[in-house]
Amino acid sequence: MLLDILYEEKGGKKMDEILEILEKDARATPEEIARMLKKDVSSVKKAIRKYEKDKVILKYKAVINKELIRDEESDVRALIEVNIVPQKDLGFDKIAERIYLFPEVTNCYLISGTYDLLVVVEGKSMHTVSNFVAEKLSCMENVRGTVTHFLLKKYKEDGVLLKHKEENKRIAISY
């Protein structure tokens, strides 16, 4: 049944329309999806259950504009580029696993370019994030170097604009 939903395009699988809708709006109900796609509600529900069972759908998520609720207690987020020495016969995966298992790490990606991994870390302050880098990350055996970038402001996340354009509050100066 799932094979008739997914189809081959130029050697790769194209994302199913149901997944595309849920990715844009996780609150879309099977009834709404069925109506949009002109499909039977039961087949949409069945496909969604199969995606959840097969771990294609891992989690439903809300994108929250934390700028609107930010206070002094808000977490600090940093993007850390990590240069590593791959392990023989294991490559990058085993080291990446050791890193992404730290509770401070929210995301971990293997990337191309000068650095090997991009790690997203959250902490209560710049100090806690820098301690994580100094005491846990940079001293790991296969880590050659790190570069930390603190996130100052988000404009767009997961395809969603986070804040409306603010009025210019600067005082006009005339000569």
Beta strands 76-84 and 143-150, pairing class: antiparallel
Backbone angles phi, psi at 89, to 5 degrees: 65, -5
Query: How far from each other are the two terminal CA atoms of the chain, in whole angstroms?
Result: 73
At residue 1, the pLDDT reads 39
Considering only CA atoms, which of 112, 116, 114 is closest in space to residue 99? 116
Q: State the Cα–Cα distance between residues 87 and 89, nearest whole angstrom.
A: 6
> What distance in Å separates the CA atoms of residue 111 and residue 106, rounded to the nearest whole number?
16
Question: Which range (18-27, 42-51, 60-69) has the least confidence?
Answer: 60-69
DSSP conformation letters of 35-63: HHHT--HHHHHHHHHHHHHTTSS------
Single pTM value for the model: 0.71
Check whether 5 has a pLDDT greater than 60.
Answer: no
State yes or no: pLDDT of 11 exceeds 50.
Answer: no
Of the two residues 5 and 123, the one the predictor is more confident about is 123
Mean pLDDT comparison of 3-17, 72-86, 89-103, 150-164, highest-scoring range = 89-103
CA pair distance 67, 64, nearest whole angstrom: 9
pLDDT per residue over 109-168, tens digit each? Answer: 999 999 999 999 999 999 999 999 999 999 999 999 999 999 988 888 888 888 755 656
Give CA–CA dist 110/118, Å, rounded.
6
Q: To which residue do tokens 């994302």 refer?
A: 15
CATH of 2-53, one of 1.10.510, 1.10.10, 1.10.1070, 1.10.8: 1.10.10
For residue 128, CA distances in Å to 59, 77, 157 come to 28, 10, 24
User: How far is C-alpha 18 from the chain's CA centre?
Assistant: 20
Q: Which residues pair with 156 in a beta bridge?
A: 161
Which three-class secondary structure state does DSSP give residue 13? strand
Domain ranges across the chain: 2-53, 72-154
Q: At residue 32, does pLDDT exceed 60?
A: yes
Q: What CATH architecture does domain 72-154 belong to?
A: 2-Layer Sandwich (3.30)
Residues forming beta bridges with residue 9, ordered by sequence position:
12
| pLDDT reported for residue 162 | 81
